[in-house]
């Protein structure tokens, strides 16, 4: 990741280089703890560590595994409309509507299409 952001290869991310990464650019001054106008690998690592510790992780929102498991179970229970302990294709397809973002909603791939009907063998 660092090499992708470090366009000139000097081992640091300047404000100009960070501008191509909106989330990084928005936090640049906060991350630049020594106020030298560039981000070192150590500063970026400390920023990532502080974000992870606070639960601010992309695609997460879960601060601990128990929270994640509880949310998944609640989503499953909402999606399992006939309460048979399984999700039908229709229940799975509607999971994003029932559970909200992160559970089949925007930004996720749609469920797989049902298999095609079998092709009858050709008689010779």
pLDDT greater at residue 40 or residue 104: 40
pLDDT greater at residue 36 or residue 91: 36
CA angle 20/24/28 to nearest 5° reads 110
How many whole angstroms separate alpha carbon 82 and alpha carbon 92? 12
* Confidence band for 105, pLDDT divided at 50, 70 and 90: very low
- The residue extents of the domains of the chain are 2-54, 65-99
How many whole angstroms separate alpha carbon 40 and alpha carbon 58? 22
* Confidence band for 83, pLDDT divided at 50, 70 and 90: confident
Give Cα 88 distance to the centre of its chain: 25
On the question of pLDDT at 59 being above 70, the answer is no
pLDDT, tens digit, 9 for 90 and up, residues 4-23: 888 899 999 999 999 988 88
Q: What would the DSSP string read from start to end of the chain?
A: -HHHH-TT-SSSEEHHHHTTSHHHHHTHHHH-TT-SSEE-HHHHHHHHHHHHHHT--TT---SSHHHHHHHHHHHHHHH-TT-SSS--HHHHHTHHHHH-TTSSSTTSPPPPPPPPPPPPPPP-
* pLDDT number for residue 112: 56
Global model pTM greater than 0.75: no
Give the pLDDT mean for 66-83: 78
Q: Look at residues 97, 92, 87 and name the one whose alpha carbon lies nearest to residue 113.
A: 92
* pLDDT number for residue 114: 61
* pLDDT number for residue 47: 86
CATH topology of domain 2-54: Recoverin; domain 1 (1.10.238)
pLDDT greater at residue 88 or residue 64: 88
On the question of pLDDT at 64 being above 90, the answer is no
């Amino acid at each position: 990741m660092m090499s992708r952001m470090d366009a000139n290869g000097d081992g640091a991310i300047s404000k100009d280089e960070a501008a191509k990464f909106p989330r990084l650019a928005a936090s640049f001054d906060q991350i630049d703890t020594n106020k030298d106008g560039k981000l070192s690998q150590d500063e970026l690592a400390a920023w990532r560590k502080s974000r992870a510790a606070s639960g601010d992780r992309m695609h997460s929102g879960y601060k601990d595994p128990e929270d994640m498991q509880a949310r998944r179970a609640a989503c499953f229970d909402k999606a399992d409309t006939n309460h048979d302990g399984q999700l039908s294709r229709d229940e799975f397809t509607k999971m994003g509507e029932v559970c909200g973002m992160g559970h089949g909603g925007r930004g996720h791939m749609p469920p797989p299409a049902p298999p095609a009907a079998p092709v009858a063998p050709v008689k010779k």
